[in-house]
Amino acid sequence: MTATLTQSPQTFAQFIEQLPDEEGRYEWVNGQIMRILATRRHETLAEAIADYLKAEVKRSSLDYFISGRIVLQTATATGKEQGRHPDITVVDKTEWESHPSAYAALLDPPKFVVEVVSTNWEDDYVDKFEEYQRMGIAEYWIVDYLAIASRSYLGNPKVPTLFICTLEEDKYTMKGYKQDQPLRSPRFPNLNLTPAQIWAI
């Protein structure tokens, strides 16, 4: 769920400066600041995935920093700036720590982002898919635990699916994983995780 606020920043920098003081997550879409109001189940799954990824970072000694509070500057096909706030963002830890006083915002592509699908599923499958692809984010997970997208994505019958989108020659290739299928993540090659383990949280 999203709620439109009154501010109308003209640039991504203005959006970052005008972020409301109220707690919550915000995006800047089509010139408007939008507050994202997720369900408790949505937040539970996002936190669980972040915990799995953080554990794998530690286990495999990966140089990654993982957060649910990073905002990205993306762009539409017409070049219009947008501000997106993924549920999970994975960045290079060394690079992240090299600018400790900078805002938790990125102009350059992170390593990896995760979006847990909400009722406005087209945002994740279409708008953010295109913007993250255009930004050059090498890996993008779409976590459709509600099996809410159309059958053109999920098949028939529709079942909960986790899609891993990998960037190949500037275009995403999508692979769907269901139930007990082990996830194959290029950024986390030794990850031992299935969608069923996530749905069971």
Mean pLDDT of 89-115: 94
> Which pairing describes strands 25-29 and 2-4: parallel, antiparallel, or unpaired?
unpaired
Band the pLDDT of 136: cuts 50, 70, 90. very high
pLDDT on residue 102 = 86
Structure tokens that stand for 38 in this block: 């997720």
Band the pLDDT of 5: cuts 50, 70, 90. low
Mean pLDDT of 13-30: 85
What letter does residue 54 receive in the DSSP assignment? H
Among 13-17, 77-81, 156-160, whose mean pLDDT is lowest? Answer: 13-17
For the chain, give every domain's residue range: 39-199
Among 1-10, 90-99, 156-165, whose mean pLDDT is lowest? Answer: 1-10
Band the pLDDT of 200: cuts 50, 70, 90. very high
Q: What is the pTM assigned to this prediction?
A: 0.93
Q: Is residue 20 pLDDT above 80, yes or no?
A: no
pLDDT on residue 69 = 92
Which CATH code of 3.40.190.10, 3.40.605.10, 3.90.1570.10, 3.40.50.300 fits the domain covering 39-199? 3.90.1570.10
Beta bridge partners of residue 115, listed in sequence order: 142
pLDDT on residue 119 = 87
CA distance linking residue 163 with residue 178, whole number of Å: 9
